[in-house]
Structure 1
Amino acid sequence: MQTLTVSPTATPAVRNTWRRFSLLRILLGALTVTLPVVLTMFLAQHFIPQPLRASWPSLLAALLCVAGYRLYMRWAEQRPMHAFSRAYAGPEVGAGALVGGGLFLTVMGILTAAGAYQITGNSGVTAMLAPLSGMVLVALFEEILFRGVLFRNLERALGSWAALPVSALLFGLAHLPNAHAGPVAIAATIVAGLTFSAAYMVTRRLWLAVGMHFAWNTMSDAIFSVPTSGHPARGFLQGHLSGPDWLSGGAYGVEASVVTLVVFAMASVALLVVAYRRGQFVTNAALLEREQS
């Protein structure tokens, strides 16, 4: 068990310069991964007839998002894209899907036991297929942007302990424009951001967090058909959320439930403990010295 420590030779001037450079890299990274997604979805919506844009625009946008991240890593970071190492893709996406799906089933199990969720029917297995491409895009785009670009550069500038809450707060605030987003919803999203950052720290790759994110959204949207971050859903099961909003999440979905907040908080602690035991907590000065050596 170890934590990389701050070197006394790292002066405030060096650290301040590194912070400014990190901010520039965050802005550049955000641009290179966001622009392909925005342009692809805009062009598809305005120039492709509705019957011809069922799933492929989201999948194309996801591929271009990854390509933009690869370009950013090669040009701005000048380093290999270890975050998407192919050797670990299958096992880590699978593990992430199990963890993310398990977290969602835990929340739904508690809500069902409390009488806050009731299944009323189903729409058939094919109803699960329509949302999947969108879930792939959301999981890849948000993990690349918030963990692959934002968290990683904040960690270089501030160290792990400071980067974790700052990046999680920004992840939560990014969901403020969503419909029906209230205090509990934003708080739970902040904690979810902490969980996904911890998942990244465990392996220093994005696959685990992508798998968790994809599984959570897919279970919510494509299987249980409950609102996902304020967006309406219609998947396999048809159900009904009831009771006080602080318990059921209301129109925002279960992500605005205190049950979700607590479950994600527990997952965050577990993942952070694993990351700490693996020696994955670092400081800005230690990273700076490592890259200059």
Structure 2
Amino acid sequence: MQQTIPALPRLTLRARFTRHPLVRIVAGIACVLLPLVLTMALAQNLVPKEWRLAWPYLLAAALCLAGYRFFVRRFEQRAASESALQGAAPDLLRGLGIGAVVSVIVAGALGAVGAFSITGSTSILAAFKPLPEQVMVAIMEELLFRAVLFRLTEERWGTRTALVVNVLLFALAHLPNEHVTALAVLNTGVAGLGFCAAWMLTRRLWLPVGMHFAWNYLFDGVFGVPVSGHAARGWLQVQMSGPEWLAGGAYGVEASVVTLLVWCAAAAWALRRATWRA
């Protein structure tokens, strides 16, 4: 006896539109960025400066997460398990450890060639000032570039294409930064490759967030050197010496060839252990 298989219902035009990967990428970016922009704009314009020392950054980070989860529920009809806080601690701690090791290796190598020397320190309280902002930056950028852009590009076009697109866009996003150089852009792309590899290892947000935060915070809040062209403001007083290609110049260590070599090694190590998709 022949069994008749019912035809699958045709998707509506709206359903086909909202399921298109490019539409989902744009919607995901908007859901992450809009809460950030609104929170920071309202805090800056409505709250006196002395009352907005840390909480706007932490609130913005929380709302970026909420916006991403809303996007996943609305456009993908599922829970955003990749951003869940349950079980996040082990991944986050591993990420913090990896990011710290990479940072210390870069600082140590620069110190060994005389390009990085600690000359003094300020109040230990200076180390806490950049912390909320760097939490927000790590969460927001990893949501945008890994949870939205990389994940959805990989889902539609495969891992290799997703890596190329992500590295290029992550590097280009830092072009407007002050004092940027060609080497800085290259280094940013390679670091983005490392963060993509961290995502591929767990398929969750928190390992790359931990790596990203540790890198930015240690150089900004502890070592007190410029990060991505932003002025130094941390605890230790560090003197950078030598040519720009070695010490990084005004952009910071992210424009150093030492950073390029260390991040290349870290990214290659992670990519060899990650799960690739066709």
1:213 aligns to 2:212 (yes or no): yes
Structure number with higher relative contact order (C-alpha < 8 Å, ≥ 6 residues apart): 1
Correspondence for 2:40: 41
Listed as ranges, the gaps of 5+ residues in structure 2 are 1-15
Q: How does 1:241-256 map to 2 (within 5 A)?
A: 241-256=240-255
CA displacement at 1:142 relative to structure 2: 0.1
1:193 aligns to 2:188 (yes or no): no
Q: How many residues align?
A: 263
CA displacement at 1:52 relative to structure 2: 0.4
**Whole-Å separation in 2 of the counterparts to 1:164 and 1:28:** 20
Looking at CA atoms only, which structure, 1 or 2, has the larger radius of gyration?
2
**Whole-Å separation in 1 of the counterparts to 2:33 and 2:85:** 23
**Whole-Å separation in 2 of the counterparts to 1:250 and 1:184:** 11
Give, as a single letter, the amino acid of the residue that structure 1 aligns with 2:236. Answer: L
**Whole-Å separation in 2 of the counterparts to 1:181 and 1:158:** 31
CA displacement at 1:233 relative to structure 2: 2.1
CA displacement at 1:124 relative to structure 2: 2.0
1:270 aligns to 2:265 (yes or no): no
**Whole-Å separation in 2 of the counterparts to 1:57 and 1:264:** 31
For residue 20 of structure 2, give the secondary structure of its aligned residue in structure 1: helix
Q: How does 1:107-186 map to 2 (within 5 A)?
A: 107-186=106-185
CA displacement at 1:125 relative to structure 2: 1.4
Correspondence for 2:96: 97
CA displacement at 1:86 relative to structure 2: 3.0
Residue range with higher mean Cα deviation, 140-149 or 36-45: 36-45
1:143-173 per-position Cα deviation (integer Å, ceiling 9, x unaligned): 0000000001110121001111211110000
CA displacement at 1:77 relative to structure 2: 1.6
* TM-score relative to the length of structure 1: 0.87
Give, as a single letter, the amino acid of the residue that structure 2 aligns with 1:86. Answer: L
For residue 86 of structure 2, give the secondary structure of its aligned residue in structure 1: helix
Check whether the contact 1:88–1:207 (CA below 8 A) recurs between aligned residues: no
Give, as a single letter, the amino acid of the residue that structure 1 aligns with 2:214. Answer: A
Give, as a single letter, the amino acid of the residue that structure 2 aligns with 1:186. Answer: V
1:24 aligns to 2:19 (yes or no): no
1:87-142 per-position Cα deviation (integer Å, ceiling 9, x unaligned): 32111100000000100000000001111011111012111111100010000000
CA displacement at 1:274 relative to structure 2: 0.8
Correspondence for 1:290: none
**Whole-Å separation in 2 of the counterparts to 1:250 and 1:133:** 26
Check whether the contact 1:144–1:206 (CA below 8 A) recurs between aligned residues: yes
Give, as a single letter, the amino acid of the residue that structure 2 aligns with 1:179. Answer: E
1:249-281 per-position Cα deviation (integer Å, ceiling 9, x unaligned): 100000011111111111111101111xxxx21
Check whether the contact 2:223–2:234 (CA below 8 A) recurs between aligned residues: yes
Give, as a single letter, the amino acid of the residue that structure 2 aligns with 1:185. Answer: A
For residue 118 of structure 1, give the secondary structure of its aligned residue in structure 2: strand
Cα RMSD after superposing both structures: 1.4
Correspondence for 1:238: 237
1:62-96 per-position Cα deviation (integer Å, ceiling 9, x unaligned): 00000000100100121221212333211110000
Give, as a single letter, the amino acid of the residue that structure 2 aligns with 1:31. Answer: A
For residue 87 of structure 1, give the secondary structure of its aligned residue in structure 2: coil
1:220-256 per-position Cα deviation (integer Å, ceiling 9, x unaligned): 1000000000001211101111111100110000001
**Whole-Å separation in 2 of the counterparts to 1:240 and 1:79:** 50
Check whether the contact 2:154–2:161 (CA below 8 A) recurs between aligned residues: yes
Check whether the contact 2:65–2:83 (CA below 8 A) recurs between aligned residues: no
For residue 87 of structure 2, give the secondary structure of its aligned residue in structure 1: helix
Listed as ranges, the gaps of 5+ residues in structure 1 are 1-16, 284-293
Correspondence for 2:56: 57
Correspondence for 2:67: 68
**Whole-Å separation in 2 of the counterparts to 1:61 and 1:233:** 23
**Whole-Å separation in 2 of the counterparts to 1:43 and 1:233:** 26
